[in-house]
Chain A
């Protein structure tokens, strides 16, 4: 995973709540077997509208998505995170994320930042008024900064450490292989097996 320390970029204000994963990346894109090439599927249905915020020329090259509450609800498809990253987003800000989406994002180095809705409102107003306005998402300081806005955010220490260092979860877990083997040795015999081995 790519490490995330701090990022500064222009924003896309997305004034919608309950942006589900079918909107982020429609199911027909899920037939691909790679982790890349999903950028054209991002918000595919909405992008048919030339007025959709992502299509506006002044939003090209923006890297921070500022979304409404309950972003990423619905399916567990990690393709939603890949699509946002493939498109160029480095961070997503919302007052509430769906659990699975949030977990997926943090495992891929896409920083999802939870801020109170009034702060999200302030970021919407700022970036709608001035498309060139930049937002800084600072994971080391756990702080979001923009003109007139300084807001701290929470992220558990373990997730933060993994992100800051770009660590591979599986390698970390395998350091505890002895614990896993010890647990397996005492699993009850009545637990089902899919194969006879």
Chain B
């Protein structure tokens, strides 16, 4: 019987397989950041261990970094201490680090792909659940805890039980204005936040094959929000074209050998998945969340659901608690929800294509009075690219704040936070209670919906704009 993409990559990384034990998997790339690594380095020091493969390890600073005044000392002493700890650890152990201010600094999941370090058929880990992003290249990529970070630093391997496989097949054409973000939010609403638990997801079908690498990363990024550790997409010509000539992409004969191998990774025609979900792309529309987990979402054209409509008692209770926290009423049209803040950025939607999409909508328009809009590039390089295209000017002229790269308001570990009761439309990945700041209320949206929402001041899609004010002089 044939094998799936996930099974092929898994099999190619088994260092040791023994009855009654988890497989020992080799790790091709280990990404580090300041938040989940300090205790791991401490563990190495305590046991007198070193980093086994410095040449497969790279660190950057993202979660704590400010997005303003990055040339000044970091105001928060605790954040500063954590960043200094990473710098000391990287210097002591010899790990390559891209600190704040470095041109390669940025959100770890944006940095890996743009350097060409993330390639098909690799195993990639990081002490961050959104490591699933790298699966867009046909890599097996998953988030790990700090004990596992220490384990990989010391051994370059991880003992892992092999997950099951789930195919998420999306056929057909995404309608105009429907993005990868809408698609993944719809998938999570369909299978639930626990639906992918124990599985590696493989997104496939004609609608997936047409997506750019940036869009594929958006989809794989949120696999964890469906409970899956990893999400993958088979590598194809789009993948190879993205990688070619990146700083760490193979060169010359190595490139040819790599592409030849990468072409073998696609799921065999006769392979079987343990579960399968089929989605018709044509039925999708802009999608937003109304609740406090990423599965609590609905089409923008619909209304806040009535908790009483849920048959399952725990889902009903969860919906009641979510509406109470979010300050919403059952039956309220989603388009009527007014926001205070719009955030464009994060490892989900902080890449150049996302910024272009938001800028295209904002060009010649203004952010509504009383709305604060933050645009935070996913990496310093994305920021430079945006500036070279004049996108920063578009954002600033529209009244948005153009910031430096980092995780920023996705999780508010730096000063970019919502105040209690404030409501955001956010292109990030989690709408958990207090995620963007204590008492903050988050609606997850695509960059396009974020931009349209910024202009109108309430949840909206670009289609709503064309009916109101046509941009002047564009």
Contact = CB atoms under 8 A, between A and B. Distances in A.
Interface string B10-38: 00000110001110101011000001101
A192 B116 CA distance: 8
B159 A78 contact: no
A68 interface: yes
B98 to A, nearest CB: 10
Interface residues of B, number: 85
Interface residues of A, number: 61
A185 to B, nearest CB: 11
B55 A100 contact: no
Contact of A108 (B20, B116, B147, B438): B147
B117 to A, nearest CB: 5
Interface in B45-93: 47, 49, 52, 54-58, 63-64, 76, 78-79, 81-82, 85
A172 B49 CA distance: 14
Contacts of B99: none
Contact of A98 (B154, B227, B314): B227
Contacts of B15: 176, 179-180, 183
B128 interface: yes
B194 A192 contact: no
B146 A45 contact: no
Interface in A17-76: 17-18, 20, 22-23, 26-28, 30-35, 45, 68-70, 73-76
A194 B293 contact: no
Contact of B432 (A20, A77, A157, A183): A20
Contact of B85 (A18, A33, A192): A33
Given A31-B79, A78-B145, A104-B145, A22 B433 contact: yes
Contacts of A172: 159
A175 B273 CA distance: 34
A188 interface: yes
A31 B318 contact: no
B131 to A, nearest CB: 8
Interface stretch (B248-256, B327-335, B453-461): B248-256
Given A32-B78, A169-B151, A197-B54, A18 B193 contact: yes
B440 to A, nearest CB: 11
Contacts of A117: 314
Nearest to A177: B155
Given A179-B24, A192-B29, A99 B36 contact: no
A183 to B, nearest CB: 4
A76 B129 contact: yes
Contacts of B413: 27-28, 30-31
B432 A100 contact: no
B392 interface: no
A26 B159 CA distance: 29
A45 B81 contact: no
A172 B435 CA distance: 37
A99 B197 contact: yes
B172 interface: no
Contacts of B354: none
Interface string A116-140: 0100000000000000000000000
Nearest to B438: A45
Nearest to B315: A17
Contacts of A69: 194, 314
Contacts of A190: 250, 254-255, 257-258, 261
A78 B129 contact: no
Given A75-B143, A179-B24, 4 more contacts: A31-B413, A73-B293, A158-B21, A188-B257
Q: Lowest 7 A-B CB distances belong to which pairs?
A: A104-B145, A33-B38, A78-B145, A76-B143, A190-B254, A190-B258, A107-B147
30 contacts: A18-B293, A27-B411, A28-B413, A31-B79, A33-B38, A34-B39, A34-B42, A45-B433, A45-B439, A73-B194, A73-B293, A75-B430, A99-B197, A99-B227, A107-B145, A117-B314, A158-B159, A179-B15, A180-B24, A184-B156, A188-B261, A189-B257, A190-B250, A190-B261, A192-B28, A192-B122, A192-B250, A194-B29, A194-B117, A196-B55
